[in-house]
Amino acid sequence: MKRVGAVDLGASSGRVMLGEVGPEVLQLRELNRFWNGPVRVHGTLHWDILHLYRSILDGLRLAGPIDSIGIDAWAVDYGLLDADGRLLGNPVHYRDSRTDGVMERVLAEVPAADLYAVTGLQQLPFNTIYQLTAEPATGAAAGSLLMIPDLLGYWLTGELGAERTNASTTQLYDVRARAWSDALITRLGLPRRIFPRLREPGDVIGNVVPDETGLAPGIPVIAVGSHDTASAVVAVPASGERFAYISSGTWSLVGLELDAPVLTDEARDANFTNEGGVDGRIRFLRNVMGLWILQECRRIWGDDLDDLLRAAAEAPPFAVLIDPDAPEFLAPGNMPARLDEQCVRTGQEPPRTRGAAVRCILESLALAYRRTLHSAQNVADRDVDVLHVIGGGSQNELLCQLTADACGVPVLAGPVEASALGNVLVQARALGEPLPDLDAMRALVRSTHSLRRYDPQGKPADWDAAESRVFGTR
Ligand code: LFR
Tens of pLDDT along the chain (474 residues) come to: 999 999 999 998 999 999 999 999 999 999 999 999 999 999 999 999 999 999 999 999 999 999 999 999 999 999 999 999 999 999 999 999 999 999 999 999 999 999 999 999 999 999 999 999 998 887 788 999 999 999 999 999 999 999 999 999 999 999 999 999 999 999 999 999 999 999 999 999 999 998 889 999 899 999 999 999 999 999 999 998 999 999 999 999 999 999 999 999 999 999 999 999 999 999 999 999 999 999 999 999 999 999 999 999 999 999 999 999 999 999 999 999 999 999 999 999 999 999 999 999 999 999 999 999 999 999 999 999 999 999 999 999 999 999 999 999 999 999 999 999 999 999 999 999 999 999 999 999 999 999 999 999 999 999 999 999 998 854
**CATH number given to 2-226:** 3.30.420.40
Domain 2-226 matches domain 236-414+436-474 at the CATH topology level: yes
Candidate of 45, 287, 291, 390 to mutate for ligand 1, largest count of ligand atoms within 8 Å of Cβ: 287
Centre of ligand 1 to C-alpha 81, Å, is: 23
How far CA 137 is from CA of 49, 132, 141, 142, 173, in Å, comes to 21, 9, 6, 9, 22
SS3 annotation, 138-189: HHHHCCEEEEHHHHHHHHHHCCCCEEHHHHCCCCCEECCCCEECHHHHHHCC
Question: In whole angstroms, what is the distance from residue 410 CA to residue 393 CA?
Answer: 16
32 lines ligand 1 (CB under 6 A): no
Q: Which atom of ligand 1 is found nearest the CA of 253?
A: 9
Question: In whole angstroms, what is the distance from residue 329 CA to residue 117 CA?
Answer: 28
What element of type H or E holds 6? strand 2-9
Q: Is the pTM of this model over 0.90?
A: yes
The residue type of 356 is A
Nearest CA to ligand 1 atom 9: 229
What element of type H or E holds 305? helix 305-314
Question: In whole angstroms, what is the distance from residue 301 CA to residue 295 CA?
Answer: 10
Asked whether this complex has an ipTM greater than 0.95, the answer is yes
Nearest CA to ligand 1 atom 4: 75
Nearest CA to ligand 1 atom 8: 74
The topology (CATH level 3) of 236-414+436-474 is Nucleotidyltransferase; domain 5 (3.30.420)
Centre of ligand 1 to C-alpha 217, Å, is: 32
Domain residue ranges in the chain: 2-226, 236-414+436-474
229 lines ligand 1 (CB under 6 A): yes
228 lines ligand 1 (CB under 6 A): yes
pLDDT of residue 130: 98
| Annotated catalytic residue within 228, 269, 381, 437 | 228
Cα torsion angle, 413, 417, 421, 423, sign = positive
Residue 69's closest CA among 205, 162, 180, 193? Answer: 205
How far CA 438 is from CA of 18, 232, 237, 254, 292, in Å, comes to 21, 12, 10, 19, 30
287 lines ligand 1 (CB under 6 A): yes
Q: Which atom of ligand 1 is found nearest the CA of 419?
A: 7
55 lines ligand 1 (CB under 6 A): no
Q: Is 114 a catalytic residue?
A: no
Centre of ligand 1 to C-alpha 225, Å, is: 13
Nearest CA to ligand 1 atom 12: 75
